[in-house]
Every structure is written in structure tokens, then in C-alpha cells.
Structure 1
Amino acid sequence: MSSPRPAKIAALSILSNSFVFLMKLIVGVISGSVAVISEAIHTSLDLMASIIAFFSVRISSKPPDREHPYGHGKFENVAGTIETLLIFVAGIWIIYESVQKIFEPAPIKMPMIAVAAMLLGATINFVVGRKVQHVGEEYRSVAMSSNALHLLTDVYASIGVAVSLVIVSLTNFYILDPLIGIGIALYIMKEAYDLGKKSFLPLLDTRLSKEEEERVHQIISAYKDEYIEYHDFRSRRSGSEEYIDFHLVVPSHMNVETAHDLCDRIEKDIKKVLHSPKIFIHIEPEHERLLYHPSKKSERGKKE
């Protein structure tokens, strides 16, 4: 069964986050719990993340145009970076409010209603978050994966708040409420740091992972009996797409049709191991390599 389109799942997360945000905000204001209000703020950022993801997957899926000849894939990385910054802002705000509450502790009204709201919100976000995570992994969407992280992080935070509210209601240890708030803030900021590296680095045209590159090298080497060598291998990621290019040195007597067929077969096999690769192979006759690069050695794949 094919997975739903990313935009539809992103729209679903917008609806679920809107409901959970309003529920937490209302219950937080009524109960006076800084942890619940912090969770409402956290969920509001999840809502913004869902909106960003919705528009980013729509834009990044557009085909290349005159102004963007390499496509729109990096819009997802920009969106993921923005989401990361939003998480840090939320974390700082939660810590500030929690510290204020430590010095001015106050009883929580109707804590069991707040507990029920937290558990309901956690259940909704877990179900939707898993769907978003599945689509993000299938489509290699940075924005969708970022959105899933927001949702699943909210699940853990909501459960933590629910447990703390139960303890507070049983012990009247009101300082626990802001302490849990600070714990939530530190947790989501740590997750934001990990997410930030994943989202931001592709904007600098960093290469694919070692495992991905190794799979590509193995595929190219499988055809080593049909070429002389290959060199100048490069890779980078843009959103959900991978870009690969290299020079393939072929025997001087090989005609254009044969060389083209060889490239087609290599590209076809690479597309089986990567999600959405864009592959550019520069064919280089052996005599040209000797003429212009007499001392050049191949990066990989030189025939023994």
C-alpha cells in the first residue's frame, strides 16, 4: 500500500496540533500550572512546525524552473533550520517562566483535569507523529522528519507533565511543577541541537553519509571491467534529493552509444539504493585523460 502524500499528512498534523494547543492552553490557564502552559507553548511551536512542513513539502516538490535550475529541495532544509530555532526560543522561554515559578510557588487548580488533558494530547500526538515519521522516512523529507520530532517530543513531555501533576496533587510539592518545566526545556533544546545539525549542514553542501557513498562506490566498481577508472567523485544532499557526479574514463575505442548505455546501467543501479538521486556522469576517453591529466590517479575503481 502506498504511503499518503506528505502534504496530506502535514495537513493532518496542523489540525491535530491546533486542537492539542488550544486544549493545553485553556487547561494551563485554568489550573495555573507552568508546566502545562509550557507544554501549550511547546505545542504552539509544533503547530508552526507543521505549517512550515506543509508549505515546504509543497514547494520542495516543485520541478526545477528558470530561477531554480537545481530544484527547490533546500527549502526543506531552510524550514528544518527555522523549526530548530523555534524550539530553542521555546526552551529559553520555558526556563525563564519556570525559574519565576520556583521563587513564587503556587497551588495547582484541578490537577486531574490537567493530567487528563496531557494524556489525551500525548495520545493524539503519538498517533499523528508516527504517521508523519513514516512519511518523512519514506520520502526522505527533512521538514517532515523535523515535524515528527516535534510531535514525538511533545508526547514524552506531556507524559512527564502528567506524572508531575499527579505527584504534586498527592504531595503538595508545588516546586516540582517548574522543575519539570525546566526539564522539558532542556530536553527539547537537546533534540533541537541534533535536528539543527541534520537540517543546516546540507545548506553547506556537505557530502552524503559514508554508508551512502560506499554503496555508490560498490555499484560503480561492479562495472570495472567496462571502464578504465573514475575520479572527481562528489556528492551532496538537497532536501530529500541526493546529487552525485563523477568522471568516468572509458577506452578510447568505445563509441558514444556504448558509453551512454554503460552510464544508464550505472545510474539505474544507483537509483535502487538511494531515495531520489540526481546523477551526472562525465565521460572521458582514455587518450584525453593521458593528454590533459598525465599524472592523475583515480579516486576509486582503477583497474588492476
Structure 2
Amino acid sequence: MFSLPLKTRYALLSLVVSILLVAIKFYAWLLTRSQAVLTDALESIINVVASGFALYSIYLASLPRDENHPYGHGKIEYLSVGFEGGLILMAGVYIFYTALQALLHPHAIARPDWGVVLLAFTALVNLGVGFLLIRAGRTHHSPTLVGDGQHLYLDAVSTLVSCAALGLVVFTDNVVYDSAAALLLGVFIVVNGYRMVRRSVSGLMDEADEATVQNVVAELQEHREPAWIDVHNLRVVRYGADLHIDCHVTMPYYFSLEQTHAQVHRIEQLVNQEFAVPVEMFVHADPCTFAACSHCHMPDCPVRQHAFAEEITWTLDNVVKNERHQLPLDN
């Protein structure tokens, strides 16, 4: 196990813990015959399936690029989150239905005290492992580990609600609390399943990561050089932990190919230093036009037609647009 990659170890830990806890929860259901406990146990089965798929997706995401996958295999991590969210969504609908039936036809609960003890133990374990996975996922930029950790958090919350329901049954001797808690859990699980699916679709559809784009823009603006007259059409795509960034940079048209290459290399180095994950960056160099003179403060420019007036500050709003800042594209 210790020879495995770090992310794989975390995913394997999640799978092993999920298998052990689902066994404990079903034992608690056999003792209590509680609808809330059964709901919690059924939701935990999803943990096992999802953790297994997460482990496989992390393995695939770690594979190097090949001819069929020139951008790598990182997108599988978003698919894993969507798969897990879809399972949670379906389980939530089923749980809501069974809880509604139990509310209409309540039945007695046996040994609720033991149920509380066993479920409380599983909740503490899920909270601990969930926190560990989320922290590891954010550290290693793995959507799969973050999603798996959030699912364990969700499972822990479900378990705590089940514990509270059993506690109310013990003190009030009213089994309606058990069915009502299961009904509430069904709604809670459906909502969170939808959110995970939504996050997965966002990643697969390359939805803009505003925070990452803002970091790139801020870095370019802070270290801006006179030869970088304009930046536009900046795009950031995330492939699992890896980033793909491309943009257009306007430079003096009289620069030689060697000079332009040196400036492009400088920009790539600057952006790579900003992120702790692998970054693949492509810079398309555009030649300047005389219309840009009033915004360019290139020193000793031999072809300047207009005096420098003001520098246009690069922001999230203007850098992502496919147009030279306030300049017609055809000039």
C-alpha cells in the first residue's frame, strides 16, 4: 500500500472505511429496525460504489498523455464526481419514497440505544476521513478526493440526524420521529446529489474558473513589461489537477522571431511560478498596430505614430474578451 501514489492511498482508505462502516450500519439496522438507520445504511452503500469508482478514476487520471488523450486523463475525475452525485441523487429519491411510506405506516423500533452508539461511532469516523480527503484533495488539486470527502461529510450528517431521531424515539416513545428524520434525510441527500452533478458538469463543460483566471490576470498585471502591449482572449481549462492556459499577447511588430520567443517564454515562466500544479501554456503573439501607440509605453520605439496617453489595466473583464482592449481587431 505504501508504494502506491499518495492520492491512490487516500482513495483506497476511503474505500476500506466505507466498506467497514456500511457493515456496521446494517448491523445497527438489524438491531433496531429503524427506518432512519436503514436510510443511512442505504446511502452508505453509495459510498462503497463511489469510492471504488473514485479509486479507479484517480488511477486513470495519473496515467501519462498518449496519442488518444493528448491533454491527459484528468477529466475522468469530474466524471467520477458526476457518477457519485448521480448515485446519491437516485438513492435520495428512493429514500424519500420509503421514508414517506414509513411515515404513513409506522412500526415499533427495537433497541434504539444500541443504534445510537453504533451510528455515532460511524459518524465520527466519516467526519475524520472526510476532512482528511477534502484537505488532501485541495492540496493535490484532485476533484475526485474532494468530492469523495464531501460525500463522507454528507454521510456523517445523515448519520447524526439518524442518531437524533433515535434519541427522540427513546425519550418520547414516538416512532414518528424516526420516519420524519428519514424523510428529511431523503430531501437533504437529493439536494446534495444535485450539487455534485452540477459541479461535475461544470468541470466537463470547461466552465470558467473565475478565481484561477483572476490569479493569472493579477500575475501578468503585476509583472507587466513594456513589450506586452496587450493581453486578450485568455482562457483557462482544468484537466483534473493540470491547467491548460492560452492567450493572445500583442507585441511590437518589428520584434524578431527570437525576441518574440523570449517574451513568450518569460510569460510562460511567470504563470508557471504562480501555480503548484502542472501548467501547459500557449501564447499567441500578435503584431501591434499604430492604433495601439497611445496605450503603449515601449521605450525608444522606432515606429511610434502617437504619443503615449494611458496604460489600460488588465482585469478579468477585458482580458478574457477576444478583442484588443478598446482597439478594433482589424486595425
Cα shift readout 1:16-45 (whole Å, capped 9, x = no counterpart): 110000110122123111111111111111
Match of 1:286 in 2: 288
Deviation, structure 1 residue 198: 1.6
Query: For the residues of structure 1 that align with 2:63 and 2:326, how far apart are their CA atoms?
Result: 35
Which residue type is aligned with residue 74 of structure 1?
A: K
Query: For the residues of structure 2 that align with 1:103 and 1:224, how far apart are their CA atoms?
Result: 71
Helix, strand or coil: the match of 1:232? strand
Deviation, structure 1 residue 162: 0.9
Query: For the residues of structure 2 that align with 1:300 and 1:154, how far apart are their CA atoms?
Result: 51
Which residue type is aligned with residue 324 of structure 2?
A: S
Query: For the residues of structure 1 that align with 2:47 and 2:53, how far apart are their CA atoms?
Result: 10
Deviation, structure 1 residue 184: 1.2
Listed as ranges, the matches of 1:143-182 within 5 Å are 143-182=144-183
TM-score, normalised on structure 1? 0.89
Query: For the residues of structure 1 that align with 2:225 and 2:187, how far apart are their CA atoms?
Result: 51
Query: For the residues of structure 2 that align with 1:162 and 1:260, how far apart are their CA atoms?
Result: 64
Which residue type is aligned with residue 283 of structure 2?
A: I
Query: For the residues of structure 2 that align with 1:228 and 1:125, how far apart are their CA atoms?
Result: 53
Conserved in 1, the CA contact under 8 Å of 2:213 and 2:235?
no
TM-score, normalised on structure 2? 0.82
Query: For the residues of structure 1 that align with 2:273 and 2:70, how far apart are their CA atoms?
Result: 24
Which residue type is aligned with residue 45 of structure 2?
A: S
Listed as ranges, the matches of 1:1-304 within 5 Å are 5-209=6-210, 211-221=211-221, 222-274=223-275, 275-286=277-288, 297-299=323-325
Query: For the residues of structure 1 that align with 2:119 and 2:259, how far apart are their CA atoms?
Result: 64
C-alpha RMSD of matched pairs (Å) = 2.3
Query: For the residues of structure 2 that align with 1:300 and 1:278, how far apart are their CA atoms?
Result: 28
Query: For the residues of structure 2 that align with 1:301 and 1:49, how far apart are their CA atoms?
Result: 50
Cα shift readout 1:201-244 (whole Å, capped 9, x = no counterpart): 121122221x3212212222332412222232222223222221
Query: For the residues of structure 2 that align with 1:54 and 1:299, how far apart are their CA atoms?
Result: 45
Deviation, structure 1 residue 247: 1.7
Deviation, structure 1 residue 301: 11
Larger Rg: 2
Query: For the residues of structure 2 that align with 1:11 and 1:59, how far apart are their CA atoms?
Result: 14
Query: For the residues of structure 1 that align with 2:323 and 2:41, how far apart are their CA atoms?
Result: 59
Query: For the residues of structure 2 that align with 1:212 and 1:66, how far apart are their CA atoms?
Result: 28
Deviation, structure 1 residue 128: 0.9
Match of 2:307 in 1: none
Residues 208, 15 of structure 1: alpha-carbon distance in 2 compared, 3 angstrom cutoff: same
What is the number of equivalent residue pairs in this alignment? 292
Which residue type is aligned with residue 286 of structure 1?
A: C
Question: Which has the larger displacement, 247-256 or 36-45?
Answer: 247-256
Helix, strand or coil: the match of 1:207? coil
Query: For the residues of structure 2 that align with 1:301 and 1:76, how far apart are their CA atoms?
Result: 40
Residues 132, 297 of structure 1: alpha-carbon distance in 2 compared, 3 angstrom cutoff: closer
Which residue type is aligned with residue 283 of structure 1?
A: A
Deviation, structure 1 residue 142: 1.3
Task: Could you list the structure 1 runs, at least 4 aligned residues long, displaced by more than 6 angstroms after superposition.
Answer: none
Helix, strand or coil: the match of 2:226? helix
Helix, strand or coil: the match of 2:245? strand
Structure 2, unaligned stretches of length 5 or more? 293-321
Conserved in 2, the CA contact under 8 Å of 1:94 and 1:182?
yes
Helix, strand or coil: the match of 1:105? coil
